[in-house]
Chains A and B, each alone.
Chain A
């Protein structure tokens, strides 16, 4: 056994250093074909072992077939021996299409038709246990060489976590030729992990130092085991080194968690900001409590859904017993993926229109009755929710993220989802946009004038009704934009808005009503608090409840953030 291992390791070395050159000449298929015909069969092991370190995709299938006695040698009419595989359905004579192992192409008869052979009439290529072991060694290392970086790194890590000394040579060989830094790091980790199991304390010590330097999160379990071993073996220097390495991992983990939480907090804050900004305008500036704000978000999200389907295969809807089909453009590739770019302005527009319709029909009568506006808009919210259910169904609908939003980027073990990075960036843009609208446009000037003194503005000839309508449209449109966003992050369903409405109000109230900078600060504050508490309490619901309690207590400390004292009239 030991002898064999050594042989394999030696051969692996040989194969990887020398065989690499050979690969360029012979394809993996050709090598396997050669091995199948090799005489004496002992030669086969050598030939197969030359495949070590190859990443060719055909190897796995061919070797598997060989092991399952599905690799045959066909003797052609001219007497030459050709290794073949049989594919396709069996016909009534049990024959199947024969494919050459060396090329992967069917064998053609003289008539130009593909040759059909019967499995039982052929001899399967033999395999001994030694050969199977050699094959396994090749297969194990196959993924180490795959050109797919993610797959390669994951294969390296799997080997490392297995801590199998047999794989050390292959990893070390790979280390010599690996050019990608992230894969190099993975290799260093894997090798150190395997060496952790080495009998020699010096090697162990060195590997512990290496692991301390790498401080990868994945090595924590192995380090804990090593620490236990060292303590059991009463080896203080090893135990100390293991502890050092574990500390390094722990402190790295803390850093990762910290920045991860920070990032998630920022992204949650951005989401809150985007959903609450519209509310900050309708509630903060206009004093209207729009309980249907959440449904404006849902309008935006459903708009995104519809736009996506128009870019795709179309959408069949059957609201209220009428069924109709929205034709799709059946686009694909980048054009399909660009649907989101079109969905953004459209979701703003659709929500703004719904908001304006709502303002005209319901809210305009209730400007001086905030509690009533709360109730009436809740009625509207029920109405809209049921409308979504009837049109789009009660279940969540599927909005797929375009590829440029669904990937992520890992930096020092911290995962940055592109959709969340996008949310943060976009929140910044929206805040900037709203600020510009309010401070640099004539609409903004009118909005601020009306909000400060409705009657005075009306006396100055401002058409306050129009300004109200547009302001409400702006607030609702922003909610729609938020909906487009949320469709990329969570589910889109009839009660989408309900899950955000409480958070929305909290954000605006904590920020100080009518105070847009306050809203920004409070959105990020609540987002960060929520994510940190989740991290600390290890329970999202408890975290959320704690945030609610914290907000109530916060308002004890700073109720003045909410109320503006006016002294002229008593009630104000």
Chain B
């Protein structure tokens, strides 16, 4: 199949799925065919798909296995969460104009750094700026000293761990253990309302489609070529005059932003954000989605995030005790036996058929590769 044909098929597939997600699902939901619960669940999966794409952009395309994506996802969530907490107004349990947990900690006035979060544009800007800045500083330090491979994984794991430790603390004034919950309003609409949830779903779907198209474009640019060249032979890239660190930093920050936006969309749909979303384990879980879906492709992470999480939703209800066995086992099996993930299955079957056909043809000598 020639490249343009593949591109056309991909384009049609994206258009169909985009229409389904952005138009058909919400319509079916308002018609009552798809329940609010299901739509909400899918909204969550799509947010996870954004997180998975950010993991894949680094791992699958650049060879950087970042275990810090859960940190960026949560940071984005926390930034919007702060705004949502402000929007509760005095409807909290203490009926005071500041969030309940602050009153619980003995605050009577809003801490200064909370104040600007009353503005939605500010919070939305912080969704981009804070994780972007963290990624920029950390990435700069890590790539400058040429930390790569597993060392990069270990350091990003430590970064996430450090972040979760910080957010678990009460005197961080970010809700400590319990995080933020009980949201009431977003942009004047009641977040618990079905129509608001539908709008959030549409926003998530639109974001996912845009991110998908953007990454797909990125992978076809010369930068995308260099990105994969870094994955396959970083030193060759250096000896070809490219400052690999700069490229990695660009991708790292970009991936952090994608994760962060995913997190910001996730929080109003799920209704809670707490530091347990920030642990290294959450990052690793997102890596599982990518591995299961198929890394190094853009479809893979989306498929993986949806399939694994749908499975999780079902299994944690049907077999709550066995789910973790299943997740762990699935991971080992995919790594050992299906390194290309789900999306590689059609190719594998094709290859298997071809080999069978070859074997059947038998008389002809094996063809050189």
Contacts and interface: CB of A to CB of B under 8 A. Distances in A.
In the complex, is A directly touching B at CB under 8 Å?
Answer: yes
Interface stretch (A58-66, A122-130, A380-388, A435-443): A380-388
B38 to A, nearest CB: 27
Interface in B221-269: 233-236, 239
Contacts of B142: 552
B96 interface: no
A374 interface: yes
B169 A541 contact: yes
Contacts of A381: 328
A378 interface: yes
Interface secondary structure of A, over-half rule: helix
A386 B149 contact: no
A379 B150 contact: no
B324 A383 contact: yes
Given A366-B335, A379-B329, A379-B335, A509 B151 contact: yes
Contact of A552 (B155, B233, B287): B155
A563 B146 contact: yes
B286 to A, nearest CB: 12
Contact of A382 (B65, B149, B150, B328): B328
Contact of A289 (B150, B159, B329, B339): B150
A505 B239 CA distance: 31
Give the contact-size bracket for chain A. Answer: 35 or more
B149 A371 contact: yes
A554 to B, nearest CB: 10
A537 interface: no
A108 interface: no
Contacts of B48: none
A390 interface: yes
Contacts of B284: 291, 375, 378
Interface string A314-339: 00000000000000000000000000
Interface stretch (B14-22, B107-115, B160-168): B160-168
Contacts of A372: 335, 339
B165 A552 contact: no
Contacts of A545: 162, 165-166
A370 interface: yes
Interface string A480-503: 000000000000000000100010
Contacts of A559: 145-147
B150 A374 contact: yes
Given A376-B336, A390-B321, A505-B154, A383 B233 contact: no
Interface string B330-342: 1110011001000
B267 to A, nearest CB: 24
B290 to A, nearest CB: 10
B329 A383 contact: yes
B291 A382 contact: no
B151 A376 contact: no
Given A552-B155, A562-B147, A571-B234, A379 B162 contact: no
A560 to B, nearest CB: 9
Contact of A386 (B147, B161, B236, B325): B325
Interface string A537-572: 000010011001101110110010011000000110
Contacts of B145: 555-556, 559
A382 B339 contact: no
Given A382-B328, A559-B147, A563-B146, A374 B153 contact: yes
Nearest to B335: A376
Interface string B155-184: 101110110011011000000000000000
B138 interface: yes
A503 to B, nearest CB: 9
Contacts of B149: 370-371
Q: Which of A289, A374, A553, A556 has the most CB of B within 10 A?
A: A374
B235 A570 contact: yes
Interface string A377-409: 011111111110010000000000000000000
A63 B321 CA distance: 61
B30 to A, nearest CB: 39
Nearest to B64: A371
Given A371-B65, A374-B65, A555-B145, A386 B155 contact: no
Given A382-B328, A505-B157, A552-B159, 11 more contacts: A289-B150, A289-B154, A379-B328, A379-B331, A381-B328, A383-B329, A541-B169, A552-B142, A559-B146, A562-B151, A570-B235
Interface of B: 59, 65, 138, 141-142, 144-147, 149-151, 153-155, 157-159, 161-162, 165-166, 168-169, 233-236, 239, 280-281, 284, 287-288, 291, 321, 324-325, 327-332, 335-336, 339
23 contacts: A289-B154, A362-B332, A371-B150, A371-B153, A375-B288, A379-B327, A380-B332, A383-B328, A383-B329, A384-B328, A386-B321, A386-B324, A387-B325, A498-B281, A541-B169, A545-B162, A551-B158, A552-B138, A555-B141, A555-B147, A559-B145, A559-B146, A562-B151
**6 A-B pairs with least C-beta separation:** A379-B331, A382-B328, A383-B328, A386-B324, A559-B145, A379-B332
